[in-house]
Structure 1
């Protein structure tokens, strides 16, 4: 199956269902029906407010964030949808740490649930750096449908890579 990199680790059953949707040219219709429209969070300021509202609701004790932005240097082709940067700087003999989240601008034009999933993912890295059990428990605590959203996002990326079109 072409584009399998987006679906590494999924069961053979899931891969067969996806292949059927692709063969029948129905993957885009499936995604459009499930996620009919995109959101209006298109500026860094709106993204910051959106992410901070999630952080303040679910992770009040997590380290503060200095910046949250859409970063054109991040891209799906480089296997990154978002980056959680932990930056340590020396200043006057003291070490100051700051945290930034940078998100691929492709998320400016997608359903809000996909943006939420990637923001939740990056926020979870404030507490858990590795993709371990605790990390995914935190993700599903904040977004109970995290795993389904991740699969559907991967399906969208697969469809876009094969069709060279955008759905949203």
Structure 2
């Protein structure tokens, strides 16, 4: 039986349903029906514009995002689905922190809803550094279906892993 590494922490009753879909070879079919097509945000520039659009809509007063990129060095299992960092640089004798968001390259070909969930998550870190109640409230403010999309993204990653073994 396949270990459900992306779904650790979810209730056993839910995991049993996922295992059943895998055994029936229906997990991919279910996800494809729910999320039929990939997005068109495939370049770093398009990703930057996408992130800026969401930031301008929901987080105008948050610090600016200076760089956004897909990153093929992010290993989904070992690190995360995306990363937010503050890079400090000296400019004219002053120390400046520049916010960067990096998204795992695997999401170039993911459904748009999953990309949006990742971006919302990383944008929320501009205001809330920790994964606390306020953080998840902010995520849900920007994307009301945040928790469902996070779960479905984990299902999609599970299906990708099954296809690649």
Q: Taking structure 2 as the reference length, what is the TM-score of the superposition?
A: 0.95
Correspondence for 2:22: 22
CA distance in 1, matches of 2:115, 2:80: 14
The secondary structure found in structure 2 opposite 1:66 is: strand
The secondary structure found in structure 1 opposite 2:65 is: coil
RMSD: 1.3
CA distance in 1, matches of 2:15, 2:133: 24
1:65–1:100 Cα contact (<8 Å) kept: yes
Q: Deviations over 1:120-152 (max 9, x none)?
A: 000001011111111110000000001111111
Q: Deviations over 1:8-58 (max 9, x none)?
A: 111111111111111111101100100011011101111111110000000
TM superposition shift of 1:79: 3.2
Deviates more, 1:150-159 or 1:79-88: 79-88
Correspondence for 1:83: 83
What 5-or-longer segments of structure 2 have no aligned partner?
Answer: none
TM superposition shift of 1:93: 3.6
Correspondence for 1:98: 98
TM superposition shift of 1:75: 2.3
CA distance in 1, matches of 2:5, 2:130: 20
What 5-or-longer segments of structure 1 have no aligned partner?
Answer: none
CA distance in 2, matches of 1:141, 1:26: 32
Correspondence for 1:139: 139
The secondary structure found in structure 1 opposite 2:126 is: coil
CA distance in 1, matches of 2:152, 2:88: 35
1:3–1:158 Cα contact (<8 Å) kept: no
1:3–1:162 Cα contact (<8 Å) kept: no
Correspondence for 1:130: 130
CA distance in 1, matches of 2:128, 2:13: 31
Correspondence for 1:49: 49
TM superposition shift of 1:91: 3.5
TM superposition shift of 1:72: 1.4
The secondary structure found in structure 1 opposite 2:77 is: helix
The secondary structure found in structure 2 opposite 1:123 is: helix
CA distance in 1, matches of 2:44, 2:163: 29
Q: Taking structure 1 as the reference length, what is the TM-score of the superposition?
A: 0.93
Correspondence for 1:163: 163
